[in-house]
A and B are shown apart, each in its own frame.
Chain A
Amino acid sequence: MSMNPEGQESPASRSQMTVSEEVAIQMNNVHKWYGQFHVLKDINLTVNKGERIVICGPSGSGKSTLIRCINRLEEHQKGQIIVDNIELTGDLKHIELVRREVGMLFQHFNLFPHLTVMENCTLAPIWVRKMPKAEAEEAAMTYLERVKIPEQAEKYPGQLSGGQQQRVAIARSLCMNPKVMLFDEPTSALDPEMIAEVLDVMVNLAESGMTMLCVTHEMGFARKVANRVIFMDGGEIIEQNEPEEFFHNPQSERTKLFLSQILHH
């Protein structure tokens, strides 16, 4: 938005970093500590618009922390994170701007149990985007249809199965019309027979051109939709590659070990 037609940065640019029109997320030399514990070590990552990225790695390697830094659920201490041309600093205004453009899915769905499915979906559009209620409900209905549960709109989350809840959570995020979607192991709390219904919706979403960052160990999903697979270990990005290359020709020993562990059962 801050670029003129020649592709040169206008002086009014919000940050001195060159951020192209095509870039959705830019992380430069990002570090994070929990007390003494160095969770993220020098993370550099550029995510282009429309790109679908799968992040994998052993438990405790910092995958959740990484994507939670992108909507500032966690604060980084060093480096620079720019989302949708807005740099994440302590500035609350910036944080709120970023959050309304970035949707997030959680392992445990985190639907609001005191609100119906419809109210879950319209809460943020009404209160954050100031959308009229009728319009918000209409939009919510189209997204509920997209995740194939329009008939549950008046139920409470507690009355739905895990797979249905996660699909409602996807619809709830989509209602904000986000530019980027983050997924933190969205299927790992689900019973096996419900995983497919959620993955279907995610594949569908990927095909619609959504920018997605997805922490998951569903390698079938990664093969099908990812442009790039990132492997993390010990707070570092060890390796990243296209899915075919990544799975068939891993470069580092740690990646090989990890792949042999998850592909063997």
Chain B
Amino acid sequence: MSERSQSYETGQHPDLPAPVTSTGVIGWLRLNLFATVPNAILTILAALFLLWFIPPILDWAIFSADWAGQTREDCSREGACWVFIKVWFRQLMYGRYPVEEIWRINLAYVIALAAGILLFVPGLRGKPWIGLFLLVGFPIIAFFLFVGGSFGLPEVETPLWGGLFLTLVISAVGIVASLPMGILLALGRRSNMPIVRALCVTFIEFWRGVPLITVLFMASVMFPLFLPEGMNFDKLIRALLGVMFFSSAYMAEVVRGGLQALPKGQYEAAQALGLNYWKMMGLVILPQALKLVIPGIVNTFIGLFKDTTLVLIIGLFDFLGMVQLAGTNPDWLGFAIEGYVFTAFGFWIFCFSMSRYSQHLEKKLHTGH
């Protein structure tokens, strides 16, 4: 007490610790959950709701669920029957990819995962090269691994591809292609050259104006009609092109938003220093514009990732498609819920990771302005 009442000269008062009631668990509870009477009531209601809601779900999904067995006779039907997922697991992951070739897919996963983890090692040098490898080198390696037909690997035709593997292929191609294409389209749309601008506007507005389902449908049904007799494009490639154009149009608009948000002074300062158009864009404008729109970019990626499920429409069996196929198998009728919960969980893991990664990036790139 005596210390508090002691007087100090201006600017000489020592720092005191914060009062106990504003820190620690009690402080946190008070500040966030019980700050006002309405706040306290809401807290209690929410807690009751969770108590009512969560135990039955846990019971269904874990405690009363069936885990062991090989056939539907092993399902007690008191809770979820994960035997269904277990039996169909390989198809859900790889589609009808030949069993003895599945190591090729897993090898690609391992390479990508290793490179991805290296990107996160703090202070590691050469990260730009790893990034470049992931964007350029890896797709080439993956292509030869997946398709085969060279280096002594037997060919695996794309109709055999499916499950989560197919989902990842389509969304990875869409994601990797849509960012550079979207950037070029956005720059083109803001260009001073009327023809370039008109072309970009037309492209963007066309692909943005049609639903993805239509795009996929046109790609698989109408596109072949325009091709000369005998020439045949792989169905997967047609779907990939459709997804690429579609998502790059969305990406272009996201990037344009970032370009427009930058003050004119940034362009002028770069020009005044003698940077030409591409150096100005690459070194000054795009790094800032892209950083501004990271949430929008990741949003587009997540949207694209989930939209890939639409390829079912043209007879490609992705993760969701495979689950549906399994659910219509006469031996396994009535297990759709388990299937959908499992797919939802799978999609959620990927989308949530993307969202966390974008937050990590935003924090890392923040330079205090």
Chain A residues with a Cβ under 8 A of chain B: 71, 73, 92, 96, 99-100, 102-104, 106, 108, 110-114, 123-124, 127-128, 156-159, 172-173, 176
10 closest A-B pairs by CB: A158-B369, A100-B274, A110-B269, A110-B265, A124-B273, A158-B368, A104-B272, A156-B367, A99-B274, A113-B369
Contacts A106-B269, A108-B265; A124 near B274 (Cβ below 8 A) = yes
Is B288 on the interface with A (CB-CB < 8 A)? Answer: yes
A-facing residues in B263-296 (Cβ within 8 Å): 263, 265-266, 268-276, 279, 283-284, 287-288, 291
A186 CA to B236 CA, complexed, in Å: 59
Q: Which residue of A lies closest to B291 (CB)?
A: A114
Contacts A106-B265, A108-B265, A159-B368; A71 near B272 (Cβ below 8 A) = yes
B: interface residue count bin? 20 to 34
Q: Which residue of A lies closest to B280 (CB)?
A: A127
Which B residues lie within 8 Å of A73 (CB)? 268, 271-272
A173 CA to B291 CA, complexed, in Å: 26
Q: Which residue of B lies closest to A92 (CB)?
A: B276
A133 CA to B272 CA, complexed, in Å: 21
Is B349 on the interface with A (CB-CB < 8 A)? Answer: no
Is B35 on the interface with A (CB-CB < 8 A)? Answer: no
Contacts A108-B265, A127-B283; A114 near B273 (Cβ below 8 A) = no
Is B57 on the interface with A (CB-CB < 8 A)? Answer: no
Is B107 on the interface with A (CB-CB < 8 A)? Answer: no
Is B87 on the interface with A (CB-CB < 8 A)? Answer: no
Which B residues lie within 8 Å of A173 (CB)? 272-273
Contacts A106-B268, A127-B279; A157 near B369 (Cβ below 8 A) = yes
Since A104-B268, A128-B274 are in contact, a sample of 14 more A-B pairs with Cβ atoms closer than 8 Å, ordered by chain A residue number, is A71-B272, A73-B271, A104-B269, A110-B266, A110-B269, A111-B269, A112-B266, A112-B269, A112-B270, A112-B284, A114-B288, A123-B284, A124-B275, A173-B272
Assess the B269–A114 pair: CB atoms within 8 A. no
Which A residues lie within 8 Å of B365 (CB)? 114
Which B residues lie within 8 Å of A156 (CB)? 367-369
Which A residues lie within 8 Å of B284 (CB)? 112, 123
Which A residues lie within 8 Å of B369 (CB)? 113, 156-158
A92 CA to B192 CA, complexed, in Å: 14
A96 CA to B274 CA, complexed, in Å: 5
CB distance from B95 to the nearest CB of A (A): 43
Chain B residues with a Cβ under 8 A of chain A: 263, 265-266, 268-276, 279, 283-284, 287-288, 291, 365, 367-369
Q: Which residue of B lies closest to A119 (CB)?
A: B283
Assess the A176–B273 pair: CB atoms within 8 A. yes
A226 CA to B367 CA, complexed, in Å: 38
Partner of B279, one of A103, A106, A112, A128: A128
Assess the A123–B283 pair: CB atoms within 8 A. yes
16 A-B contact pairs sorted by A residue (CB < 8 Å): A73-B268, A96-B274, A99-B272, A102-B272, A104-B268, A104-B269, A106-B265, A106-B269, A112-B266, A114-B287, A114-B365, A124-B275, A127-B275, A157-B369, A158-B367, A158-B368
Q: Which residue of A lies closest to B269 (CB)?
A: A110
Assess the B272–A103 pair: CB atoms within 8 A. yes
Which B residues lie within 8 Å of A110 (CB)? 263, 265-266, 268-269
A96 CA to B276 CA, complexed, in Å: 7
Which A residues lie within 8 Å of B263 (CB)? 108, 110
Q: Which residue of B lies closest to A155 (CB)?
A: B368
A128 CA to B288 CA, complexed, in Å: 20
Partner of B273, one of A108, A113, A128, A159: A128
A112 CA to B270 CA, complexed, in Å: 9
Assess the B368–A128 pair: CB atoms within 8 A. no
Q: Which residue of B lies closest to A98 (CB)?
A: B274
Assess the A176–B367 pair: CB atoms within 8 A. no
CB distance from A36 to the nearest CB of B (A): 21
Which A residues lie within 8 Å of B272 (CB)? 71, 73, 99, 102-104, 173
A110 CA to B263 CA, complexed, in Å: 9
Which B residues lie within 8 Å of A127 (CB)? 275, 279, 283
A176 CA to B279 CA, complexed, in Å: 16
A94 CA to B369 CA, complexed, in Å: 35
A158 CA to B288 CA, complexed, in Å: 14
Q: Which residue of B lies closest to A71 (CB)?
A: B272
Which B residues lie within 8 Å of A111 (CB)? 269
A128 CA to B282 CA, complexed, in Å: 13
Which A residues lie within 8 Å of B273 (CB)? 99-100, 103, 123-124, 128, 172-173, 176
A98 CA to B287 CA, complexed, in Å: 26
Assess the A113–B283 pair: CB atoms within 8 A. no
CB distance from A175 to the nearest CB of B (A): 9
Which B residues lie within 8 Å of A158 (CB)? 367-369
CB distance from A105 to the nearest CB of B (A): 9
Assess the B283–A176 pair: CB atoms within 8 A. no
CB distance from B361 to the nearest CB of A (A): 13
Residue in B263, B287, B367 whose Cβ sees the most chain A Cβ within 10 Å? B367
CB distance from B272 to the nearest CB of A (A): 4
A103 CA to B274 CA, complexed, in Å: 9
Q: Which residue of A lies closest to B288 (CB)?
A: A114
A176 CA to B274 CA, complexed, in Å: 9
CB distance from B160 to the nearest CB of A (A): 46
Partner of A113, one of B268, B274, B275, B367: B367
